[in-house]
Amino acid sequence: AVVSTQSGHYGREDHFVSLLWDDGHTGIIPRSDRGAYGNGYKPTPSLKFYDLSLRKNSVQTFWESPTGEVTKRFQYEDVISSCEKTKEFLAHFMEYGLAFLSNTPHQPDDLLQILKDLKVTPYWDNMFGVLSKVSFQNDPTNQAFNNQRLAAHTDMPYYTQTPSVYFFHCVANELEGGESFWSDTFSSVQHIRETDPDMFELLTSVQIPFRQYPKEWHMAGSYPTVELMGDDIYRVRDCCFVIDTFKFIQDYSPDIRARWWQAYRYLRQLMENPARSVQVKLEGGDLVVIDNWRVQHGRNAFSVSKDDQGGRRAMEVSYIEWSHVQNRLLKMELD
């Protein structure tokens, strides 16, 4: 119990409250009128914005099929010139896990400046660098660089913390086919949770090994497909291309593996159902912001000649830490 309190100074000008406890020790607590960092008390932002930034399921909208609200388009110039539009855009992204921005600059490498304009930097560096270019290659070492259909997935599940906010920028998209599509994993996981608790338990408890080893890298990790934060669905890791099946055999019994594959196959059936997906043929200047912990992305096949090395279908990718997008939203709310 607290025996006594005393206001005073600690160091030079740092105001504090001194608490003397009944066991004889003294605690020093910063006073709220100056704040823990001496920059004053900050009121709590609006509850919805705050909870969206904390990834609370209660304020997220899970979507089973595309609606006009899910596919709502924002204009680049409106967003970067208006704090209110920026807040609306970022809150929309956090609520639906997906947001579309139109009429952005779309020369090669423009994405990095766009992220500065949105004031969500610093960039999230990774094995592909702060900016990666996705275009057709004749002899690719990654499925993203061929012209075949790319199944829905989340990026880099082998990272200890997977990239959270994924910016996908269309520089050019003039080839036939190649439509992009996105699916809300939280909606599918919630459906499984409500209809088959045993499958849900397997998806949230069985650790799936992932491994990726392009040139000069060897990445590995083992995590459940679905991660919870309390009762909330918090993060999904799913990239079927990089599941380390040999390690999975070593780690689990045949019975657990068989039951997990059944649950996972059902999740994949939901995720690959076109009726549950948003599908868009992106154009130059389109930018899609994706919650990589929630919304899976993929691509339809496209026609291309072997001598086309990416000039007519060129995409660029960069990632931003969720906390920095959170900072942008909450700071605007308080300023």
Q: What is the pLDDT of residues 85-112, one digit of tens each?
A: 999 999 999 999 999 999 999 999 999 9
Q: CA-to-CA distance for 242 and 248, rounded, in angstroms?
A: 12
Q: Which residue has the tokens 């689990």?
A: 252
Q: Average per-residue pLDDT in the chain?
A: 89
pLDDT at 12: 39
Query: Is pLDDT at 171 greater than 80 in this prediction?
Result: yes
Q: Which two tokens stand for residue 279?
A: 């599908």
Based on DSSP, count helices (H) and strands (E) in the chain, helices before strands.
9, 17
Query: Is pLDDT at 270 greater than 50 in this prediction?
Result: yes
Please tell me whether the overall predicted TM-score, pTM, comes out greater than 0.75 for this model. yes
Radius of gyration of the chain (CA): 23
Q: Is residue 27 within 8 Å of residue 19, measured between CB atoms?
A: yes
Give the mean pLDDT of 281-309: 90
Residue type, 174: E
pLDDT at 265: 97
- Structure letter (DSSP) for residue 238: -
Q: Please name which of 301, 272, 279 lies closest in space to residue 176, comparing C-alpha atoms.
A: 301
Q: CA-to-CA distance for 65 and 273, rounded, in angstroms?
A: 10
pLDDT at 31: 59
As a whole-number percent, the residues of the chain with pLDDT over 70 amount to: 87
Query: Is pLDDT at 145 greater than 80 in this prediction?
Result: no
Residue type, 219: M
Q: What is the pLDDT of residues 35-76, one digit of tens each?
A: 555 566 667 778 899 999 999 999 999 999 888 899 999 999
| Torsion of Cα atoms, 118 then 120 then 122 then 123, to 10° | -80
Q: What is the pLDDT of residues 209-238, one digit of tens each?
A: 999 988 889 999 999 999 999 999 999 999
